[in-house]
Structure 1
Amino acid sequence: MSISFLTRPTSEEVVGRVWEALRTVRDPELDTDVVSLDFVASVEIDSADGSGRVARVSLRLPTYFCAPNFAFLMVADAWDAVSGVEGLTDVEVTLIDHFASDAINAGVAARAGFVHSMAGTEVGEAVSELHELRRTFTERALMAGTDLVVRPMMREGTTPEQVAAMTLGEAPASDDLRRLRARRRELGIPAGDDDPLVVDPSGRTVGVEALPLHLRKARSYQVGVDANTSICRGQLAVRYGL
């Protein structure tokens, strides 16, 4: 008979798991995780009182006036992601150096939602929750991802007719293709090997006649993401002396 023992993860192991969890949290506009963007200022594990391990995560943004709706999404997503880490008894996620940080931090901690969190604050009233905003930027990420997958193939000589008829399983494997599949799944769009490669944000297949305009739009979204990412990285570096 074999006996197995469950060992408590070390603090270092828990810290590593927290960082990995944070890699699933994205800036909705840039479609890049907050760790890669250097938006995570610190991760600490506090177990001083002996009652358990508390993860304390600090997030920072490129400017004091970054949009509060985007900031709220990232703080809330970070809270959700880190809460799923094994070995923790509690989670604190704090946005620092931001004009709406008090309202955002309190609202996320209370799981109050964006509208309730902004109500009665000097930040301003929120009109609605952020589900539609999240979907809008996921749709833009889908378009930008299409550019990243299709443009290299067309540079290598793949014709529009071939692209329009291609399935996901026929496209060259890459990190960009994996990310494109992930965004499709988030939008409820089929992302199997036999599903068409190029679809619009509603999931409709894009035929060869509509393909040129669709790819121009996709390219414009990716150019915008690249430009905004560069600006944000530069602002963050200047702000925090990175």
Structure 2
Amino acid sequence: MTIAVVTWKEVDAALSTVIDPELDEPITDLGFVTERVVTGGDVLVRLRLPTAFCSPSFAYLMASDAEDAIARLPGVASVRVLLDDHHDSDRINAGVAARNGFVAAYPREAAGELDELRKVFQVKAHAAYIERACTVMLREYGWEVADLGRLTFGDLPTEGVREGLGRRRSALGLDTSTDSLVMVDADGTAWPADRIELRLRFAKAIRISIDGNAHFCRGLLRTRYPESAADQRARAQDATPHERVEAS
């Protein structure tokens, strides 16, 4: 019988699916992962954040998601994810290791588990990416704002744009078939044709906020840990419109 053995590359690929909810970027791209140790089926991962006072809820969410992503890999016997240099590292690390949820780790402070918080930021990320994708279609493919109401998932360029929006849609349980409309809310309701331009402006404001926060947090991380610059991958927003979306 062949026994599956987890590899470093598989661990890294799993970590690349873990998203900072506020910044809508993988923790691997942001430079938050400092160490990955694979010993047989045992995996140890260490994380860092831009400040010692980053929100415990976000920190817990990312550490817990990292543990879950690695635990799903064939051949993994045990996982330990440790957050370093945070004011609440001990509490977060103990809570993630216990796998009892955020409320158990923060019984006095937590109003509930983090699913609703995650959903709030997934909705924002989806709206922001619609604006990104539409910008590409308007600037590079000759579409007009008046026609965006009929834009379908299949109309989007397959490389980068469709995949990027697909990830945000899948996170919300939305349809990703080629004939599904792009301009929809988080519950799948189509945007009214006479509100598309206004909704795009609102989505742009969300996108600018996400981009600004991401840029700021990357800078804070480099200030706190100068060596993290080598671990950060170039931001998609620093390229041309099409390259920008492809990289994300």
TM-score normalised over the length of structure 2: 0.86
Q: Does 1:60 align with 2:68?
A: no
Q: Does 1:237 align with 2:222?
A: yes
Residue 145 of structure 2, aligned match among 160, 165, 175: 160
Stretches of structure 2 that go unaligned for 5 or more consecutive residues are 228-248
> Based on CA coordinates, which of the two structures has the bigger radius of gyration?
1
Contact 1:142/1:201 (CA < 8 Å) preserved in 2? yes
Q: Does 1:143 align with 2:131?
A: no
Change (3 A) 1:146 1:34: same
Distance 1:8 1:134 in 2: 32
Distance 2:169 2:46 in 1: 30
Count of residues in Structure 1 that have an aligned counterpart in Structure 2: 226
Stretches of structure 1 that go unaligned for 5 or more consecutive residues are 47-51
**CA deviation string 1:167-206 (max 9, x = no partner):** 1111222323212122212212222111111112221111
RMSD, aligned CA: 1.6
Change (3 A) 1:68 1:7: closer
Distance 2:162 2:214 in 1: 20
Q: How far has the Cα of 1:85 moved from its partner?
A: 2.0
Of stretches 158-167 and 129-138 in structure 1, the one that deviates more from structure 2 is: 158-167
Summarize the alignment of residues 104-123 of structure 1 with structure 2, pairs less than 5 Å apart: 104-119=92-107
User: SS of the residue aligned with 2:81?
Assistant: strand
Contact 1:144/1:219 (CA < 8 Å) preserved in 2? yes
Contact 1:160/1:208 (CA < 8 Å) preserved in 2? no
Percent identity between the aligned chains? Answer: 39
Change (3 A) 1:6 1:28: same
Q: Which amino acid counterpart does residue 6 of structure 1 have in structure 2?
A: T
Contact 1:145/1:177 (CA < 8 Å) preserved in 2? no
Greater per-residue helix proportion: 2
- If asked which structure has higher relative contact order (CA below 8 Å, sep 6+), I would say 2
Q: Which amino acid counterpart does residue 187 of structure 2 have in structure 1?
A: S
Distance 2:101 2:4 in 1: 34
Distance 2:192 2:97 in 1: 47
Summarize the alignment of residues 1-242 of structure 1 with structure 2, pairs less than 5 Å apart: 6=2, 9=5, 14-46=7-39, 52-119=40-107, 125-156=109-140, 157-242=142-227
Distance 1:113 1:20 in 2: 24
Q: Which amino acid counterpart does residue 21 of structure 2 have in structure 1?
A: P
TM-score normalised over the length of structure 1: 0.88
Of stretches 181-190 and 65-74 in structure 1, the one that deviates more from structure 2 is: 181-190
Contact 1:14/1:85 (CA < 8 Å) preserved in 2? no
Q: Which amino acid counterpart does residue 114 of structure 2 have in structure 1?
A: L
**CA deviation string 1:129-154 (max 9, x = no partner):** 11110000000010011011001211
